[in-house]
Amino acid sequence: MLAIRSHFLNHFNDAPALVVKSPGRINLIGEHIDYNHGFVLPAAIDKFIELAIGKRTDGAMHMVAVDLGETIILPMHNLAPHATVWVNYIIGVVDQVLNTENNNASIEINLVSKREDLAAGFDICIQGNIPLGAGLSSSAAIECAVLFALNELYSLSLTKMQMALMAQSAEHTFAGVHCGLMDMFASLHGEKNKAILLDCDSLDFTYYPLVLDDYSIILFDTQIKHALASSEYNTRRFECERGLAIIQEKYPTVKTFRDISLEQVEACLAFNDIKGLKVYQRCKYVVEEMQRVQLAVQDLAKGDMQAFGKKMFETHTGLSNLYEVSCPELDFLVEAVSNNENVLGARMMGGGFGGCTINIIKKSAVEEITKTLTASYAQLMHKELAVYITSIEEGTHLVAE
């Protein structure tokens, strides 16, 4: 990749004021429980968006997507969702800064003079190597890169958590995706060789060492995304809400799934009809996964990656059989490595119905496993397998010249 500074100089005939790198993310364990007030365990990775930015004085944004070969110019005022998808990840966060009182970040700072400076406009170039559609949160990486750059360029004094909340609001309002906070949080807060336990209720977080030694994190990308993913996501949320309401009828002190035991799930939700069975299965998975996350971080604290890996396999079983958000391709990839002594753990990652499996594989065995799995995936699933070797890296940061 040609350095982003060179692209900026070639396009705008001037050097950028600063350069920012913002990573994608993985989630090690804790899937589909962020919207159930649970815990997630994300980490920033070595796939990133890189951004160069400089000030203008004419009240316009000149935005260049290097990888797409596209340039869009817009005025700084009267911002609204744009037909070009990638543009919304930039202008959405600009709108958040210019109209802070309209977002849910509850930022108690005075941005009046800063907004006047920002309203004068800027030049921006972006490029990256985050695989699109793989569930590694390229959109969040762009949003965080832009916010971080604006924060530095205009001395906005925003905290990382404030930026994460603003990026989430931008995703809701401009991209039209009602996502949780995990992606933006992980992109901004990541630390090298550390996973982050994020409490999706209180937003408290704790870093845990991710000591891999002779192992690597490998992502196997099915390169598919079924159309039912978004509708099924909404259905799962409704089923969880229904189960919670039923339990609350019998146990009024219960507020969220964090207050629920497996015994209560069995007592309240073990229905015989099909609709009730689905609610029971969803809630059983959520409670079990919350417990797994708490045990998994204890494994990390002790450096017991064998135990951690077993929990990844258990999570996949729950996601496939109880939560039913897997698909044949994902199940095949996990099953194919489940009895391999060189694989500590594997599971589907993300919303489901496609995307990647995340695997912890012994470095000396990565090449052979990848070769074998690629061939069998092509033969049995009639699709090409994409493979990404990742490492855990620093979150969004300035890049020195």
Q: How far apart are CA 188 and CA 79, in angstroms?
A: 25
Helix (H) or strand (E) holding 319: helix 305-321
Return all residues near 19 (Cβ < 8 A) that are at least 6 apart. 4, 5, 50, 51, 52, 53, 398, 399, 401
Two tokens, residue 270:
């073990």
Distance CA 110, CA 85 (A): 31
Distance CA 94, CA 163 (A): 11
Assign 251 to helix, strand or coil: coil
Pairing of strands 60-65, 121-128: parallel
Q: How far apart are CA 141 and CA 72, in angstroms?
A: 19
Phi-psi region of 13 (alpha: psi -120 to 50; beta: other; left: phi over 0): left
Nearest C-alpha neighbor of 144 from the set 95, 195, 90, 76: 90
Distance CA 330, CA 321 (A): 13
Amino acid identity, position 379? Q
Q: Are 313 and 345 in contact, with CB atoms under 8 Å apart?
A: yes
Q: Is the dihedral of CA 76, 81, 86, 92 positive or negative?
A: positive
Three-state secondary structure call for residue 120: coil
CA distances from residue 360 to 209, 323, 387 in whole angstroms, order as listed? 15, 23, 13
Please give the backbone phi and psi of residue 156, each rounded to the nearest 5 degrees, phi first: -80, -15
For 111, phi then psi, to 5°, come to: -110, 15
User: Is residue 259 annotated as a catalytic residue, yes or no?
Assistant: no
Q: Are 334 and 346 a contacting pair, CB within 8 Å?
A: yes
Selected catalytic residue, list 34, 123, 183, 221:
183
**Closest-CA residue to 142 (of 98, 102, 93, 104):** 93
Helices marked H in 119-200: 138-153, 160-170, 182-189
Q: What are phi and psi of 59, to 5 degrees?
A: 75, 25
Catalytic residues: 183
